């Protein structure tokens, strides 16, 4: 083989760039590893490289138990199973996991490996992820049981009442008591963080002024949504004291519908972004600090549902935003559900799957786009893809599931993950992202997808927020 030991860039190897191209055989241990293996690198004289797994086995080497090249070559990922198994255990018994040592012990790994696992699959640190799971578990208990608020906090794994209230407010933007009152409310207040920037949030959701699914009026944002109790319009008024959310619906909504609307309000207002950590880290890199300086406090506005995000991404493939918005309006016109005030909620997967291809073709959809849109909708409608559950699990598993569907590539999958709430998703292949990277780094040519992937690694584990800054910087320069 032409590649000499350790002549490649180790950072690129750890990122997985060379996985599948060669294997590292370590003479002193008798194992073979993927180039991305994070074990301490052996001395150059103690390794040799082979092209295939069969060559490694024929030479008497066995698979590394940490990077699991045997699973890689079978198309499996042991870490996905490890992460998703741990997720299920924590959600079923959060009080059994008082801290990070308990998480690491349950996985059978070190805390360093645990951090790597969560960075790759949750795009969060283990501590932040555990806090989020406790809050979500408590939120469910608040709506579905009559137990005392403090008892629900303890049952969810919080060590004290004050910690429970503080962390619940930070994530859900309201107190536990106010959240419980959602089950009979039509109005609620979300506490906005200091320095909250409303202009970019409103601009994103108002990017199509003709849409009947979203509408922006001054500092008020309206979104038509389907709930378990029927269509509703969620109004979000951004004021000095916070975001006042009001529900407009013909029917009274039950607690599950109210919880879904609260979740949609958090997503659409970008209140799930980890802005402070990103901006603190950015100070250590001059270029990044310069990039974000004009818009500190910027957040990632999410799309209310993952299926809406999936449809938008497919419709928007390789066309400009204006044309994509016009095609989306055609979907709403053909299959959208009428809601209050003349608005229309985005159709569910079954309604999109049942769209007549001839009608779509008559409304400027290409044959390929029709095929991809209806095919993806069928995957969801027929329960082969749990699109709404994607962002509650592993990011890597989510990307694999999405890209396994015909017509969905890396850009489409990562756009869905970015707008669905994962914090470290860079939709490489995006023309605007490439143009922004070219401008930021003063490059002579626009980077291709592989080069953009490399450049975006500087922003990890906050590539979603960095992407939003880069897009914004390009608009400001226009």
- Give CA–CA dist 125/460, Å, rounded: 12
Alpha helices in 421-462 (DSSP H): 431-441, 449-456
The phi-psi region of residue 404 (left if phi > 0; otherwise alpha if psi is between -120 and 50; otherwise beta) is alpha
pLDDT band of residue 444 (cuts 50, 70, 90) is very high
- Give CA–CA dist 178/338, Å, rounded: 30
User: Greatest CA separation found in the chain?
Assistant: 74
pTM tops 0.75, yes or no: yes
Query: What is the average pLDDT score of the chain?
Result: 92
pLDDT value for 13: 77
Share of the chain above pLDDT 70, in %: 97
Residues 6+ apart with CB under 8 A from 84: 393, 394, 397
Mean local confidence (pLDDT), 450-470: 95
pLDDT value for 241: 84
Note the pLDDT tens digit of each residue in 12-58. 777 677 888 899 999 999 999 998 887 777 888 898 899 999 999 99
pLDDT value for 133: 96
H or E element at residue 238: strand 230-239
Q: Into which CATH architecture does domain 306-477 fall?
A: Orthogonal Bundle (1.10)
Q: Looking at the DSSP assignment, which residues form a beta bridge with residue 216?
A: 221
Note the pLDDT tens digit of each residue in 89-138. 999 998 899 999 999 998 888 899 899 999 999 999 999 999 999 999 99
Compute φ and ψ for 442, nearest 5 degrees.
Answer: 65, 40
DSSP states of 11-72 as a string? HHHHTTTTTTT-EEEETTTTEEE-TT--SPPPPGGGEEEESSHHHHHHTT-EE-TTT-HHHH
Note the pLDDT tens digit of each residue in 230-245. 999 999 999 988 999 9
Fold (topology level) of 10-73: DNA Methylphosphotriester Repair Domain (3.40.10)
Enumerate the domain spans of the chain.
10-73, 306-477
- Give CA–CA dist 285/454, Å, rounded: 16
- For the record, the structure tokens of 411 come out as 């850009």
Give whole-number Cα distances, 254 to 145, 191, 257, 259, 456, in Å: 14, 23, 5, 9, 43
Q: Looking at the DSSP assignment, which residues form a beta bridge with residue 225?
A: 232
Strand, coil or helix: 416: helix
Exposed e or buried b per residue across 60-75, where buried means at least 16 C-beta atoms within 10 angstroms of its C-beta = ebebbeebbbbbbbee
């Amino acid at each position: 083989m032409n590649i000499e030991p350790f002549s490649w860039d180790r950072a690129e190897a750890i990122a997985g760039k060379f996985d599948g191209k060669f294997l590292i055989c370590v003479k002193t241990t008798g194992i073979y590893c993927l180039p991305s293996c994070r074990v301490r690198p052996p001395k150059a004289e103690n390794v040799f490289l082979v092209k295939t797994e069969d060559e490694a086995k024929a030479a008497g080497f066995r698979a590394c138990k940490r990077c699991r090249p045997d699973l890689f070559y079978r198309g499996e990922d042991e870490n996905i199973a490890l992460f998703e198994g741990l997720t299920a255990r924590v959600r079923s018994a959060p009080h059994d996991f008082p801290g990070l040592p308990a998480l690491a012990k349950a996985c059978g790994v070190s805390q360093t490996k645990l951090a790597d696992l969560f960075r790759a699959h949750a795009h969060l640190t283990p501590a932040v992820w555990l806090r989020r799971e406790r809050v979500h578990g408590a939120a469910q208990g608040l709506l579905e049981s009559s137990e005392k608020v403090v008892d629900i906090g303890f049952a969810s794994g919080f060590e004290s009442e004050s910690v429970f209230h503080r962390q619940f407010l930070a994530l859900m933007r309201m107190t536990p008591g106010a959240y419980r009152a959602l089950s009979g409310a039509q109005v609620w207040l979300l506490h906005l963080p200091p320095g909250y920037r409303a202009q970019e949030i409103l601009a994103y959701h108002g990017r199509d002024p003709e849409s009947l699914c979203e509408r922006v009026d001054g500092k008020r944002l309206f979104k038509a949504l389907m709930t378990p109790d029927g269509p509703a319009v969620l109004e979000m008024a951004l004021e000095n004291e916070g975001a006042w959310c009001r529900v407009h619906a013909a029917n009274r909504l039950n607690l599950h519908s109210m919880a879904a609307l609260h979740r949609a309000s958090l997503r659409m207002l970008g209140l799930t972004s980890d802005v402070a950590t990103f901006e603190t880290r950015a100070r250590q890199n001059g270029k990044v600090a310069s990039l974000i300086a004009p818009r500190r406090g910027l957040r990632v506005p999410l799309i209310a549902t993952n299926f809406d995000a999936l449809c938008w991404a497919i419709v928007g493939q390789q066309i400009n935003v204006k044309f994509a918005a016009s095609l989306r309006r055609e979907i709403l016109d053909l299959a959208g559900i009428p809601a209050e005030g003349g608005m229309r909620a985005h159709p569910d997967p079954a309604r999109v799957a049942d769209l007549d291809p001839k009608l779509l073709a008559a409304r400027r959809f290409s044959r390929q786009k029709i095929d991809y849109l209806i095919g993806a909708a069928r995957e969801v409608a027929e329960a082969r893809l749990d699109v709404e559950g994607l962002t509650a699990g592993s990011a890597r598993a989510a990307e694999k599931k999405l890209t396994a569907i015909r017509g969905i590539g890396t850009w489409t999958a990562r756009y869905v993950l970015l707008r669905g709430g994962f914090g470290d998703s860079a939709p490489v292949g995006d023309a605007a992202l490439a143009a922004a990277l070219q401008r930021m780094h003063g490059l002579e040519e626009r980077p291709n997808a592989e080069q953009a992937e490399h450049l975006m690694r500087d922003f990890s584990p906050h590539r979603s927020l960095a992407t939003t800054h880069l897009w914004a910087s390009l608009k400001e320069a226009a």
